[in-house]
Amino acid sequence: MLKKFFEKLKRLHALDSHAIENIYNLKGRNGGKPLVICLGDVEHIYRDCHVNVPEELLRDLLPGPVTLVLQHSEGLNKDLNPFTSAAGVRIPNHTFIREVAQACSGPLASTSTNISTRASTLTVSEFQDLWPQLSLIIDGRVNMVFVKGNHGSPIYLNSLRG
């Protein structure tokens, strides 16, 4: 089950142009409204961005509910934010998401779970209309992962380890 989970995660990878295109299409927006990258560790910021703030400040702010806007490195996929050299960077204060980001070989593309111009959602049920188009849903409020089965039937994983 975890193997399937990590296969689905590859579709979120910010180095994958097809994954980025899928996110933009699903949200109904173009590259003029940039995506954020999610990282697992402060050290990874140096890999993906040109950092112009003291490391002490980074460690004071992150992980946490902060988005830093930095110049992205040449190695970051240009399709992520095609009309700007800036990148929004988050290291969430959520252990599971940081572990997922650490397990990937690069940044994850991150965005809200709503179609552009619509209100932001706070619960999984609020974007139920998007479920058929999604491969993976993680509900951190209840430690649940939703993975579509081979025939579109949902599989709920109560435990992410094991």
pLDDT at residue 70 above 80? yes
Average pLDDT of the chain, as a whole number: 78
HEC profile of the chain? CHHHHHHHHHHHECCCHHHHHHHHHHHCCCCCCCCEEECCCCHHHHHHEECCCCHHHHHHHCCCCCCEEEEECCCCCCCCCCCCCEEEEECCCCHHHHHHHHHCCCCEEECCCCCCCCCCCCCHHHHHHHHHHCCEEEECCCCEEEEECCCCCEEEECCCCC
Class of domain 2-118: alpha beta
Q: Read off the pLDDT band of 153 (50, 70, 90).
A: very low
**Average of per-residue pLDDT across 130-146:** 68
pTM score: 0.76
**Would you kindly state where each structural domain of the chain is located, as residue ranges?**
2-118
Average pLDDT on 139-148 reads 58
- The stretch 83-99 carries a mean pLDDT of 88
* Percent of the chain whose predicted confidence (pLDDT) is above 90: 23
- Provide the pLDDT confidence category of residue 146 given band limits of 50, 70 and 90: low
At residue 145, the pLDDT reads 55
Query: What pLDDT band is residue 9 in, cutting at 50, 70 and 90?
Result: low
